[in-house]
Structure 1
Amino acid sequence: MSKIRFVASDGLPGLAASLAKGGRRVLVPVEKPAASKPSVVFAPYEPGVKMTLAKATVPPKEAVLPECETLMTFQKSRDPADLNQTTLALTAVEEGVPTVVFACRPCDARGFAALDKPFLEGLYADPYYKARREKLTVASLTCATGCETCFCHWVGGGPTSPIGSDVLITEIEGGYVLQAMTPKGEELLEASGLPDGADKFPLAEAARKAAWASLVPAPDLTAARESLKAMFEDTAFWEAETARCLSCGACTYFCPTCYCFNITDEGEPQSPCGGRRLRSWDNCMSSLYTREASGHNPRPEKYQRMRNRVSHKFWTYPENWGPYLCSGCGRCITNCPVCLDIRAIVLDAVAAAKGKV
């Protein structure tokens, strides 16, 4: 059996505090007030920070893929002996701070596993992503029940799925059972100082089974890939499915598996400060995303952009990597201002394609 530890009901904040010692960054869910409704975001643990165990409004994706990061700095200098000769100095910035994502959900952890495929397992590993990922430990809090907008079990996950997690935390009466799922998780629990919890593991197993029993049975999505391929050129279908879409991009920014980004340079290389190259999150639902320098845009219509997004998650990514590019967290549903539901789009495509496949 893997390493098992137990912590009392009020002990998780103390555990986060102990993990934050020694220069380790610990990202915990905290509530942020807002005019309309509060949001839950991941923030570095500090003394006095009041963490919550509510599901975060936004995923902890920024731990490995920041909203904006400096890839390199650059500066030109002239040879004093020959002013026509210039040298361009480049300095790569690869940051990798030991980090623990604490009390995220299994769908969030599965997001890290989905990002690993293109960033680490392609022809070239992304050095910036790799530097952060190698120093990341993920401790996930399993869900006690399903909810209306979650569909993790549709796409190969579940309320207690271990995919992407180094430690699984399960609530039982009187506290939490922590189970190591990887060598990183074993190392974290070994250093935690928590008492052994093997005798309480049966209670954790029972809680996990109850979580699965609370779920509504998932539909069969095995035909999704071929169905989306068959419906790809059906303009009328996609226009009808996306008629309400505002192209606001909320579905992409709240997604734990979306990884579209833009590269920009800012500054002046010949100034004393030089310049820097930035990588920032981008939004494939924006009409500007695919617009070329010539002015041509291969996806000018919103139905084309939504078609691309849904097809990527349930057709082309699985074709290349195996699993879906979706962890079923439901954030794209809960945060959509017009209540578009990606589940309905996929099921509609499967139904509409029956006569075409």
Structure 2
Amino acid sequence: MAEAKFIANDKLTAWLDELSGRMRVLAPTRQGDAVVFAPYAPGQQVELDAEATAPPKSAVFPASEELLRYDYRKDPENLGQVEVELLPTISPEPTLVFGSRPCGARGFLIFDRVYDGAKYKDPYYLARREATIFATIACRQAENSCFCHSVGSAPGDATGSDLLLTPVEGGYVVEGVSDKAAPLLESSLLEAAGDKVDQAKSLREKALQEMGDPQDFGPASKKLLALFDNLGFWEEMSAKCISCGACTYLCPTCYCFNITDENAGLTGRRVRSWDNCMSFQFTMEASGHNPRPTKAHRLRNRVGHKFSYYPDLHEKIIACCGCGRCIKSCPVSVDIREIVTRAMDYQPKAVEEAAK
């Protein structure tokens, strides 16, 4: 692995300018009250002190993505005969996502097990994944909605990152995590980190210690399955939910999508777009039947998928990175930690009465 480097605060913009001349750079940018990942322009000031409102998910898994174009061609000798020409559109642009928190990049490890599986591989996802480099910034202090340490991570977890930057006095320690990082560390604007590496490590450890003891979500998988048919429990948990979908759209690990064909005469395109499992239309069938007709059914699926169904399929890995966006941005303060904890602590009324 390449030697750790140090970049001074007053050289950071010049480094980003240099990198943006070689590839597309997405950096946290303030837009009104939100901080979003947007294309970087030379000299631009970036927002590195606050966690972005939305994760950098769209860099690899766009909110709306054209999968292919198609043309219908009629045989002039037989107008009833039509041929279809498919024109795939896989042309990812080399991209650096700069300034995400580690949990934003770690979320793609959940995607990888689905879209880069042994049986099925998504060429669109994989092409963008290969073309994208993640330079993340370790958190010096967790917010009260963060719980990354309860899902096997930490404020300075480099898993899923290519570069990890740790803020220290005067700048950032820059450490290469993957082979993709090496070319970015060759800049003359960076200098040897020296003993600042130990300082960075201590700051990351301190941030983790300040989060306190993690919750053990291990028992959640079986407990959630046991509550699957207990609609009363899920109605109570979902009572204040307004099904807005903010939790899914802002989640680094939600990967559901819908596919639509958009036609214009004899030409058209196939589009993949994010879908929202908290929406009534998510499981609506053409017959009009909906197997998840209420928000209680839909919340059961959302929570169950992350803490039960996915772990059962993927080596007990929880499909949540603990970033807390679904908590912080929920307009009615639904807290997924509370739901899972309530599920793990749930006792049937008969058991509760017997214990009295």
Distance 1:241 1:197 in 2: 49
Q: What does residue range 81-230 of structure 1 map to in structure 2 within 5 Å?
A: 81-190=77-186, 194-230=190-226
Correspondence for 1:46 among 36, 41, 48: 41
1:292 aligns with 2:285: yes
One-letter amino acid of the counterpart of residue 238, structure 1 = W
Given candidates 298, 302, 306, the residue that maps to 1:305 is: 298
Residue-by-residue CA offset, 1:247-280 (whole Å, 9 max, x unaligned): 110100110110111101112352xxx1101000
* In structure 2, distance between residues paired with 1:264 and 1:304: 25
SS at match of 1:10: helix
Instruction: Provide the alpha-carbon RMSD of the alignment.
Output: 1.6
**Cα distance in 1 between the residues matched to 2:225 and 2:78:** 60
| Contact 2:165-2:174 within 8 A present in 1 as well | yes
User: Is the alpha carbon distance of 1:341 and 1:122 closer, same or farther for their aligned partners in structure 2, counting shifts above 3 Å?
Assistant: farther
2:19 is the alignment partner of 1:19: yes
AA partner of residue 352 (structure 1) = Y
- Partners of 1:225 and 1:84 in 2: CA distance: 55
Asked if structure 2 preserves the Cα contact closer than 8 Å seen for 1:230 and 1:353, the reply is no
In structure 1, list runs of 5 or more residues that go unmatched: none
Q: Deviations over 1:50-100 (max 9, x none)?
A: 211021000000001101010111111112233232211111111211111
Distance of 1:282 and 1:192 partners within structure 2: 44
Residue 32 (1) aligns with residue 31 (2): yes
Structure 1: distance between partners of 2:11 and 2:312: 43
Contact 1:29 1:52 in 2 (8 A): yes
Q: Tell me the alpha carbon deviations over residues 195-244 of structure 1, each in whole angstroms, 9 at most, x when there is no partner.
A: 22133211111111211121121121111111111111111111111111
- Alignment pair present for 1:281 and 2:274: yes
2:340 equivalent to 1:346: yes
The structure-2 alpha-carbon separation of the partners of 1:93 and 1:192, relative to structure 1 and needing over 3 Å to count, comes to: farther
Displacement after TM superposition at 1:143 (Å): 0.3
1: CA distance, partners of 2:139 / 2:53: 15
In the alignment, what sits opposite 1:335? 329
SS at match of 1:332: helix
Q: What TM-score do the two structures reach when normalised by structure 2?
A: 0.94
Aligned to 1:242: 238
Tell me the SS of whatever aligns to 2:108: helix
Q: State the distance in 2 between where 1:117 and 1:353 align.
A: 34
CA 1:192/1:353 → structure 2, altered by over 3 Å: closer, same or farther? farther
Matched AA of 1:30: T
**Unmatched 5+ residue regions in structure 2?**
none
CA distance in 2, matches of 1:10, 1:109: 26
Deviation at 1:353, TM superposition (A): 5.4
Change (3 A) 1:119 1:269: farther
SS in 1 for 2:346: helix
TM-fit CA distance, 1:122: 4.5
Indicate conservation of the 8 Å contact 2:16/2:42, yes or no. Answer: no
